[in-house]
């Protein structure tokens, strides 16, 4: 499907795992719900990063009604899990799993001793590089090269 497009196509999970692998060989995933664990593990494995995944930590018993409020509601728990993983799992990086966590890595990073990556930010960075590599792409009209 990606080859049929005339523009670069990147995924948030794939971009996050790729960025984590550039940082080092040991990564963990931290997410907002245990129901996410299986899908996150499967995507890491399907993109070839399963061997780098050494731990997964999920917020237990979290409740929310609006996915847009997850970051605010669970920021403290997610931060605690990131700190735990950095120390206990001896990882080189932590991937925040799940679209509702987009942008949260920047807020957590000052308090975590290893790089924290969110997939949306990683995908945007990947897309910018892809667009620079293919300047004649149809996407130029979108002005994403900023």
Q: State the Cα–Cα distance between residues 101 and 146, nearest whole angstrom.
A: 23
Kindly report the CATH number that applies to the domain delimited by 2-62+75-140.
Answer: 3.40.50.12500
The tens digit of pLDDT for each residue in 22-75 reads: 999 999 999 999 999 999 999 999 999 999 999 999 999 887 788 889 999 999
Q: Which pTM does this prediction carry?
A: 0.86
**Is 74 in contact with 59 (CB distance < 8 Å)?**
yes
How many residues are there in the chain?
146
Cα dist from 123 to 87, 90, 103, 141, whole Å: 27, 25, 12, 19
The tens digit of pLDDT for each residue in 80-100 reads: 999 999 999 999 999 999 999
Q: Which two tokens stand for residue 110?
A: 């000052």
Domain locations along the chain: 2-62+75-140
């Amino acid at each position: 499907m990606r080859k049929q497009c005339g523009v670069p196509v990147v995924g948030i999970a794939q971009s996050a795992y790729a960025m984590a692998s550039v940082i080092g060989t040991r990564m963990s995933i931290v997410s907002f719900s245990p129901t996410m664990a299986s899908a996150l593990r499967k995507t890491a494995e399907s993109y070839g990063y399963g061997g780098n995944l050494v731990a997964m930590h999920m917020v237990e018993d979290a409740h929310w009604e609006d996915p847009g409020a997850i970051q605010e509601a669970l920021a403290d728990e997610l931060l605690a899990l990131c700190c735990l993983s950095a120390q206990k799992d001896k990882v080189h990086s932590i991937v925040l799993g799940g679209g509702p966590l987009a942008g949260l890595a920047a807020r957590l990073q000052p308090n975590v001793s290893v790089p924290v990556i969110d997939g949306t930010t990683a995908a945007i960075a990947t897309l910018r590089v892809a667009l620079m590599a293919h300047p004649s792409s149809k996407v130029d009209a979108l002005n994403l090269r900023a």
